[in-house]
Amino acid sequence: MVATPKISPLAPASFPELLAIGGVRFATAACGVKYTDRTDVLLGAFDAGTTVAGVLTESKTASAPVDWCRKNLSGGQAQALLVNSGNANAFTGARGWAAVEATVSAVADTLTCRPSRVFTASTGVIGEPLPAETITSAMAHLTDQLAYADNPAIWQAAAEAIMTTDTFPKGATQTARIGETEITIAGIAKGSGMIAPDMATMLSFVFTDAAIGAEALQAMLSDVNVRTFNSITVDSDTSTSDTVLLFATGAAGNASIDTVEDSALDAFKTALEEVLRDLAHQIVKDGEGATKFVTVTVTGAENDRAAKVIALSIANSPLVKTAIAGEDANWGRIVMAVGKAGERADRDKMSIRVGGFEIAAMGEAIDGYNEAPVSEHMKGQNIDIEVGVGVTTGDDAGAATVWTCDLNHGYITINADYRS
């Protein structure tokens, strides 16, 4: 039996009321892939004509499901999604690919669609063969249970089925207009550990009833991903299974838009970014053992890329993260993390603020620096770190924001017992 994890202190009060998405159906089942007392498989079915876009891990040891998605995304069409938790089906050789083919074929045969329009993802333990028969044997039950995603309970069940060490299910929703048509976006995600930005982070599946061509959908997702999932880190470890998929059913009835440059997509893109950012923040807030949500903003860098490298150097530093966990205003560790990042920084023009309180300017602690308000800020759940690296100024100055959490004993406990 899997022990019920203690819910993160940063968790939202409840699962959000995700809005209905026409053309999307879900079913979940407890197949016993690894867990014996909870659902662990999610099946999604989509109306014909649904387009799909995705971003996938850059890991050189990517899982078999990632390879399958990478192979089929170019087709731009989707009719099903199959996700299992408890087993990553990664580093499993030919057996891993055979397991993907077996499960995908079972879905395609049941839903009468092409295997290339079935997308799949797996999350859990790496290196153990996926028992495909536990999933394929449940396919008739899953298809019988398919129900339209038109109430929050169905969404929550879907989000719970893809969890591993997560302590709460994650969901987000927004509306926007394309022309005169109101459209809806809703998404779920899982992620708690092995979180670092190298395309996306862990698993997320986002759905919209908008009619948008696959190329435009892909361009938007790739762009928005950079500032959302690709800007979070819990432990600097990039998963073998990272997958974000965006499905557009067209059920809202707007005239299909095929070019990302069309201004009619502006509001949709803003709403999409809000959904992905919300999900990304929830992943950080569920970081293994996390007690504090940390925002790191870097300005004045050579360019935005350099600013992000520096911000991640701060966010990934064990010394910075443990100081935050201990509520220690040891800002010298921030200086260290900037210096090791490998990007240009003007030591004698650097500035540091924590919680909005100025600590350092022009390369040294400010006169009369009072640590008391900074220490008080460190006792809260939301920690804000701002660093100016003094290389550029004005509108062309490089800037980036990333999000992370603290590092404490809880992380060690969870990961020491991960396979138990």
Positions marked active-site? 201
Which residues, in sequence order, are CB contacts of 76 under 8 Å at separation 6+?
A: 51, 52, 53, 213, 214, 215, 217, 218
Give the CA count within 13 Å in the CB-facing half-sphere of 248.
Answer: 26
DSSP string, 30-72: ---SS-SSS--EEEEEE-TT-EEEEEE---TT--HHHHHHHHH
Residue 318: closest CA among 330, 308, 307: 330
The token pair that represents 13 in the structure block:
């009060």
Distance between CA 329 and CA 357 in Å, rounded? 11
Beta bridge partners of 87: 125
Alpha-carbon distance of 390 to 54, in angstroms, equals 37
Residue (of 241, 275, 245) closest to 50 by Cα position: 245
- Asked whether the beta carbons of 34 and 127 are under 8 A apart, the reply is no
Rounded to the nearest angstrom, the gap between the alpha carbon of residue 169 and the centroid of all alpha carbons in its chain is 13
